[in-house]
Copies of this chain bind each other. A is one copy, B any other.
Amino acid sequence: MPKEQNKETKKMILAVGAEIVHNKGFNNTGIQEVLKEAGVPKGSFYFYFQSKNDFGLQLIDFYSQFIYAKLDEAEALSDVSALDKIQRFFAEFLTLFEKNKCKGGCPIGNMAQEMGDLSEEFRERLQTVYICLQSRIARLLDQAREEGHVGIDIDTREMAGFMLNAWQGAILQMKVLKSISPLQSFERIVFDTVFCAQTKEHADG
Q: Is A166 an interface residue (CB 8 A)?
A: yes
Contacting residues, chain B, for A170 (C-beta < 8 A): 162, 165, 169
Contact of A168 among B126, B162, B172, B185 (CB under 8 A): B172
What is the total number of copies of this protein in its complex? 2
Q: Is A175 an interface residue (CB 8 A)?
A: yes
Q: Is A36 an interface residue (CB 8 A)?
A: no
- Contact stretch, chosen from A40-48, A51-59, A109-117: A109-117
Q: Mark A161-205, 1 if CB is under 8 A from B, else 0.
A: 110111111101101111000100110110001100110110010
Q: Shortest beta-carbon distance, A116 to chain B, in Å?
A: 4
In the complex, are the beta carbons of A169 and B178 less than 8 A apart?
no
In the complex, are the beta carbons of A176 and B130 less than 8 A apart?
yes
Number of residues from A at the complex interface, CB < 8 A: 50
Q: Shortest beta-carbon distance, A13 to chain B, in Å?
A: 22
Given contacts A127-B176, A197-B197, contact A114 B117 (CB under 8 A): no
Q: Is A145 an interface residue (CB 8 A)?
A: no
Residues 119-175 (chain A) with a chain B CB within 8 angstroms: 123, 126-127, 130, 154, 158-159, 161-162, 164-170, 172-173, 175
In the complex, are the beta carbons of A112 and B158 less than 8 A apart?
no
Residues 70-111 (chain A) with a chain B CB within 8 angstroms: 103-105, 109-110
How far, in whole Å, are A105 and B105 apart by their CA atoms in the complex? Answer: 17
Q: Shortest beta-carbon distance, A30 to chain B, in Å?
A: 12
Subset of 26 A-B contacts with CB under 8 Å: A24-B118, A25-B25, A25-B27, A103-B117, A109-B113, A109-B169, A112-B175, A112-B176, A116-B172, A117-B175, A123-B178, A127-B177, A130-B173, A158-B189, A162-B185, A162-B186, A165-B166, A165-B170, A165-B182, A166-B169, A168-B168, A168-B172, A169-B170, A169-B172, A200-B201, A201-B201
